Structure 1
Amino acid sequence: MLKSMTGYGSAAFENDQMSVDVEIKSLNSKFLDISTKLPKEVASFENEIKKILTEKIVRGKVNFTIEISLKSGLGSAGKLNSTLFKHYCQELRKSISEEVLGEADLVKEILKMPDIFEFEESASEEVPKDLLFDLIGQALDSCEQFRIQEGDAAQAALNTFAKHIDEKLILIKQKEPERIVVIKQRIQESLAELGASDKTDPNRFEQELIYYIEKLDIAEEIIRLQNHIAYFHEILAEDESQGKKLGFISQEMGREINTIGSKANNSEIQKLVVDMKDELEKIKEQVLNVV
């Protein structure tokens, strides 16, 4: 089962004292990179939160945010900050005359100013740890489901791309006998030409012939590529998501495909090699986003 590195999850809580919002966003990355944005009320839990994220997310670039709004003073009267009230009054009167802004209107404006009322904080405004970590768990579960859904789509696509490479490889195997016949004809023609020459060194010619045949032989590359494709499907079917291993296998597949293309010496086979390379690039792009 594959899991995508792209994910999103959130959870929220609200009562008469506070509202708490937890949000997780993850994107693809070679390693685990966690960035947290926490309010002061829960800053002391940062290490615990990062430990949980590390265990659950495993790999990817993670942006984790908690927002807390404390509803201070609800149901109770605030105390007027008289010092601040006088300060606002003096500052406003310096620039606005009583003719422009009457006394009653001035008071109304001052009462709208920030921090003009003071509220006593109570113990009820503290965020309970159990509540906080329950919300984090909910957000993580939501993000995990998102990643699994995206991973299912990636797994289906990767299976299809690998299958297409295998189909092209089967066509190459079918064309291999024709390629061998053409190569033999070329060798026979060369033998006929060299046989007519008195300057031919039989030993040297035999060495060159062996080198030429080995250079054009793609049987081993075909077998290795078949094995890589089979192993690729095997890793895709495992319970644990292994994006890095799939990346390594795709690199090995690329080496064999390139070697087949360089040895083929056949236009039809080389076209199939180009098609395989196209499918392999799709695999590499998709694997980059897999955990």
Structure 2
Amino acid sequence: MIKSMTGYGRGEAVGSGQQVTVEVKAVNHRYSEVVVRIPRTYMSLEEAIKKQFQKGVSRGRVDVFVNIEQLGEVNGKVKVDKNLALQYYQSLKELAEELSLPSDFSVHQFINLPEVITLTEEEEDLEALSELASKAAQKALDSLLSMRINEGTVLYEDLLNRIELIKDLTEKIKERAPLLVGEYRQKLQERLKEYLDQIPVDEQRVAIEVALFADRVSITEELVRLWSHLEQFEKALNLKEPVGRKLDFIIQEMNREVNTIGSKANDLEISRHVVNFKSELEKIREQVQNVE
């Protein structure tokens, strides 16, 4: 069953004091393109997430948005640089003596001195975070694929209905085509009688002219190929693998055949069917642009 290229998905995973949220949006694209947007701090997780979506989506542009949120308090450690504090103390003491100022210092005064006291956060467990991100990404991917399958079902029904309309038009063209030669023979004989009046009509010459006309307007081969393309299109709709490009190619071939039919037949009724055929074919082409 075919799948649509458009869709949206969302997934969350919580653990180790963190919550990972992954949102994904997919739109039409000629090829497969996955773009992951993730906070710079966690860029190391980008490639794994990208590959995860590339395995599930074979065609279309997929934008993946990853958000990582800390839950609760962040554990950290206070670090005191005693050597640096001592250097500050010695320098300040020498400055006080040189300026004849009191050199009474308290510990509190060292708190605001640069880099004497620093707070360092505990290192994150990137392996655990990677697992969380993978779970959230898979949920988002499953949600996206579900939506693409549902939209694909709607596309499938619409395409089948339009193919049936085209089949009906093809049958009408097929029924009309054999009548062209007989009508041409009759018109040719009527014109000859009108212009030649009393002169007998050369039936052999008429037969040659009609044969040439029949060869010129014959659309049998085009109709055979056209019907074959229609059958291929229906079969492709039921394949499990992505068929968007294949369907697009078949449509191009059908369009080529029906254009040839229109130019060769030189008949008002067939021309009307060809116009309707091309109108439906264009609607099918637009829908196929959404197929993976």
- 1:160 counterpart letter in structure 2: N
Structure 1 residues 118-197: aligned runs within 5 Å: 120-123=120-123, 128-189=129-190
Q: Which residue of 2 aligns with 1:9?
A: 9
Deviates most, 186-195 or 252-261: 186-195
Q: Which residue of 2 aligns with 1:277?
A: 278
SS in 1 for 2:5: coil
SS in 2 for 1:13: strand
Q: Which residue of 2 aligns with 1:97?
A: none
Q: Deviations over 1:142-161 (max 9, x none)?
A: 11111111111111111111
Structure 1 residues 167-246: aligned runs within 5 Å: 167-189=168-190, 210-246=211-247
Structure 1 residues 27-42: aligned runs within 5 Å: 27-42=27-42
Q: Which residue of 2 aligns with 1:54?
A: 54
- 1:226 counterpart letter in structure 2: W
Computed over aligned residues only, the root mean square deviation of the Cα atoms, in angstroms, reads: 3.2
Q: Tell me, which stretches of 5 or more residues in structure 1 are unaligned?
A: 79-117
Distance in 1, Cα, partners of 2:253 & 2:31: 22
SS in 2 for 1:58: coil
- 1:173 counterpart letter in structure 2: K
CA contact (8 A) 2:25 2:63 kept: yes
Q: Which residue of 2 aligns with 1:289?
A: 290
- 1:233 counterpart letter in structure 2: E
Distance in 1, Cα, partners of 2:187 & 2:207: 15
Q: Which residue of 2 aligns with 1:73?
A: 73
Q: Which residue of 2 aligns with 1:260?
A: 261
Distance in 2, Cα, partners of 1:74 & 1:152: 47
How many residue pairs are counted as aligned between the two chains? 252
Q: Which residue of 2 aligns with 1:99?
A: none
CA contact (8 A) 2:34 2:50 kept: yes
CA contact (8 A) 1:159 1:233 kept: yes
Distance in 1, Cα, partners of 2:229 & 2:54: 31
SS in 2 for 1:128: helix
Write out the 4+ residue segments of structure 1 that deviate beyond 6 Å after TM superposition: 193-196, 203-208
TM normalised by structure 1 equals: 0.75
CA contact (8 A) 1:18 1:125 kept: no
Distance in 2, Cα, partners of 1:282 & 1:20: 41
CA contact (8 A) 2:35 2:62 kept: yes
Deviation at 1:193, TM superposition (A): 7.5
Q: Deviations over 1:17-72 (max 9, x none)?
A: 33321011110010112221111343102222222222211110111110112246
- 1:280 counterpart letter in structure 2: L
Distance in 2, Cα, partners of 1:287 & 1:46: 31
Would you say 1:249 and 2:250 are equivalent positions?
yes
SS in 2 for 1:162: helix
TM normalised by structure 2 equals: 0.75
Distance in 1, Cα, partners of 2:194 & 2:241: 61
Distance in 2, Cα, partners of 1:38 & 1:252: 43
Identical amino acids, percent of aligned pairs: 35
CA contact (8 A) 1:72 1:121 kept: no
Distance in 2, Cα, partners of 1:38 & 1:272: 54
**Shift in alpha-carbon separation, 1:189–1:275, aligned structure 2, 3 A:** same
Deviation at 1:250, TM superposition (A): 0.7
SS in 1 for 2:2: coil
Q: Tell me, which stretches of 5 or more residues in structure 2 are unaligned?
A: 79-117
Distance in 2, Cα, partners of 1:273 & 1:56: 40
CA contact (8 A) 1:72 1:119 kept: no
